[in-house]
Amino acid sequence: MSQTNEPLKTAALQTATFACGCFWGVESKFQQIEGVVSTDVGYTGGTSDAPTYKSVCGGGTGHAEAVEIIFDPAIVSYSELLERFFLMHDPTDTGDTHGGQYRAAIFYHSSDQEAEARKFKERIQADCGLPVTTQIAPAVAFFRAEEYHQDYYKKNGGGFC
């Protein structure tokens, strides 16, 4: 058994869930942020109890392709994650033109996250002068995507989708 000099801070870690298009690229961008401990891509915000990539892409499940992030708020704040998230997509795009699974959404895990997300959305809307269509909703069941989707760019290289 190995021992480290730094204590594990699991009690301090938090979860954030974001959707804004193809989860491969979104995951890769969040993985580059210092303080992001881990990421998983998957499906959330829908009605099926067993979504798969095929069923989500086929429509009808209501799920969004999303990234669930475990982060250390002592290193990166939720507000900083929101800022990066809003740089990853056009917050005025409903996602309907790209398929409902690519809609932009923030799935909050606490009342503090909800308040921050709503405040951030209002600021973005005031800055751009257009309605921000990014959804803000409570986190619900997150279904981890098939293994070949996890860390897609680390495994396969290539550009962003």
Known catalytic residues?
A: 22
Residue in 70, 17, 82 with CA at minimum distance from that of residue 43 = 17
Residue 144 to residue 28: CA distance in whole angstroms:
16
Determine the 3-state secondary structure of 27 from DSSP.
helix
Rounded to the nearest 10 degrees, the angle between the axes of helix 111-128 and helix 78-87 is 40
Determine the 3-state secondary structure of 37 from DSSP.
strand
Residue in 74, 58, 66, 3 with CA at minimum distance from that of residue 30 = 66
* Widest pairwise Cα distance in the chain: 57
Residue 141 to residue 120: CA distance in whole angstroms:
24
